[in-house]
Amino acid sequence: LGLMPEVANAEAQPLSAALPLHELVALAGDAVAPGGEPPDVDRMDIRPADGLAKVRFEDRVVTEVTLDLATGTVLDLGERNDVFLEKLHSGEIFGDRGILISDAAAVVLTLLLLSGYWLWLYPRRRTR
């Protein structure tokens, strides 16, 4: 679907061989904005089994930098196109109030489901 950049896995590394997180963020920031101020980090994804770290920035196009976990080499610099769908699914797109509303709706729907099963399993005898 082309929602995320395709990245080949690096060699698996133990976490003890990984660079510190602040160095990985600095290297990713240099790749996004060489010589300038990089945008804030939205989230990081550390995958020791794949030997890589993904750093997602909060910029207009939602840039993601994939780095080798041990050397800090930039493996890929690309745009993520799934962030809108992810934030819509989690309720983040509407802020904290949206998350609260979607959680409350989930609880209400669960209660409706349980009460429907209850009425189906234990029907009251109809009296005329």
- Give the chain's mean pLDDT: 85
- Looking at per-residue confidence, does 78 or 6 come out higher? 78
What is the rounded CA–CA span in Å between residue 77 and residue 102? 33
Q: Tell me what percent of the residues of the chain surpass a pLDDT of 70.
A: 88
Residue where the block lists tokens 């429907």 = 116
Looking at 19-23, 30-34, 56-60, which range is the least confident one? 56-60
The dihedral sign for the CA sequence 106, 109, 114, 117: negative
- Looking at per-residue confidence, does 113 or 10 come out higher? 113
User: What is the pLDDT at residue 3?
Assistant: 60
User: What is the pLDDT at residue 65?
Assistant: 92
Answer for the pair 48, 12: CB distance below 8 angstroms, yes or no: yes
- Looking at per-residue confidence, does 1 or 98 come out higher? 98
User: What is the pLDDT at residue 80?
Assistant: 79
Give yes or no for residue 58 having a pLDDT over 60: yes
